[in-house]
Structure 1
Amino acid sequence: MPPFAFANLANPMSISCLGSQVTQWFDEHLTFKVAIQELSKSASRALGALTTKFLSVGGMEYKLSTKLFESLVQPILLYGAAVWGHTEHRKLNNIQTRALKLFLCVGKRASNLGSLGDMGWTSLVTKQRMEVFRQYIRLQNVDADRLLHKIHKWSIRRGNSWEARVKRLASKLNIRDIINSANSNRWKMCNIGRSLRIHDEAVWFTKLWTDKGINGNKLRTYRRFKKDMIPDSYVTSIIPRNYRRALLRLRLGCLPLSIATGRYTNIPLDDRLCKHCESGQVEDEINIFYVTVQFLMKLELIFLMKPFTAILPNFLLLTSCEKFVRLMEMPDIQFLLAKTVFLMLKYRRSLV
């Protein structure tokens, strides 16, 4: 019996290992486009099952949601990533993005960059690259008398081979010295993982501060207080879903404010004024938080009820922008802040 079976030669080709029920798909050009499409379908079904459980129990805490995603969905997304993971695939990234927004209880129009930053998850392309480098290091340590070792050495000299692409990727990420070192495989993978996570956060931070077009970045306010890719306290805390959703929409600039809606009607930035107050200021996240008189009164009452002044004695002396940033950065008040934002948005909807 041959070790491999080839099926559907006229159509996209499937290679199945008869002993272990492992399947991989190729198209007529021997690329992995069909494989990525099939993996995205399978991962989407797994995420759909997880979504049903998530909604039926009214939500899950951060650690449980992360564990379930890494156990049920992520293995499907990374199936065979050691071979095709040196390039980024949007279809697979979308699956992880859906999982992020499921837990954060926001819609598909919420910022992917902000959702990833608040959850603190490693990007999928970084996880793919980890699998690629793990496989490359394994091939490096194959016994010299084996045929696999000879094929590996021959393939390195081919300009468009998998090994050559991995070497170029390692040079781009400045980790070739780690791969070629004489240390153990475990040491190599630990340092590669650390370097990839640093690079992942640097790419995320660069995108966060990159403005596109004359309208600027949607995360203009978010980047004032978000400095790194670690889970925020409102994410790891047990907070009702409607409260978390309200706070996240405020953080990510997803509210129907004039500064956002004016982009679609070509209104100049300075003319996108608040319609619910007479301050003459642009209606942005900071404006609705502090200019609305009714909400400002509620906020002051909250500060009288809670010992926030013990944490920030000079809070009332700060500017509106500084107050907003400090509130978002304080981990001990996120539940109260989320509830206040929810009530504020409910009140604003009644004004329309």
Structure 2
Amino acid sequence: MSATPAPDLDAALLRIAQAIDPASSVPVSVQLRGALEYGIAAGDIPSGSRLPSVRRLAATLGLSPVTVSNVFAALQERGQIEGRVGSGTFVTDRGIPCAARTAQMAALERQIAALVAAGRDLGLSAQDLALRVTMAACAAPRALRIVVLGTFSDATAAYARDLAPYLAPEDLAIAWTTDRREDLPGHIDLVVSPRTLAAQAAALFPGIPQVSMILIPNEATRVALAGIRPDARVLLVSYFDDFLSVLKAGVARFAPHLGRVTAVARTADDLDRLIAECDVLIHATGADYLAARLSARQAAIEYRHTPDSHAVQTQLLPALDGLRAAGPIKGETP
């Protein structure tokens, strides 16, 4: 008997179905891939959840099974989902990757073995070592250097600022964008990225522990959306084509009172006309330049994200604690 998707997953898939526009200039396969990928990144489609079968999802969305199958294949290649023989297709857990976690644990085991051997040579008992380890744990934690990875510099700097309250005063959060190719100065302890950039983070910073964060619309975005009058003519413009359906679904979720909403990519042929006719322009990060085209009677809202606090508590903080517990890196002054 096949498992029934969780209610939250059903609601997320319904929003995706309502957001996909077959008449859009953006191919439906691109819309679906973006909607699923960003749905996973935002936590709307939870880690570990089982996705509907290709045929069932195709029927729900009114798309071809071939289209859905190709999208599943693309997401599996990106590491967002995984197929389990005889069980179905599941959303992967994108916290610290299993390989990195395994490597960290192996290194810790080697350090413990070396510590025990050194203690034995000094005539220290296991109880003596345990006491000394406990005393060391009470010492001041070492400073950590954390790369916060993003696509746009302003938004990435905002992610780093949003994470600062969760870090120790001596920690350093370095905002870094995917297009930068120069070397980072000094040692890096951890890379934090949106889940949509997890594969790029692993490629840019191989061998460095990684946490892939769930992002949600920030408070300013949610407040601004709630304040739009119901009869306003609203135009949604995404920077990336695959974010269009996500933007549309997010606005429908946080501003369900809106009735006159048009969603287009920034490359749409009739963009100038649509901007001139709208009352409110809601644009994705990166398309802020469009606000310069508005008149005094029109308003602009940037749809910007922030790390989800629950994900910070359950993913980031345990990773930081684990790094601090490992002690100073070789050659570093405690």
Structure with the larger strand share? 2
**Shorter-chain TM-score above 0.5:** no
- Normalising by structure 1, we get a TM-score of 0.24
Kindly name which structure, 1 or 2, has the bigger radius of gyration based on alpha carbons: 1
Larger relative contact order (C-alpha < 8 A, sep ≥ 6)? Answer: 2
Structure with the larger helix share? 1
- Normalising by structure 2, we get a TM-score of 0.25
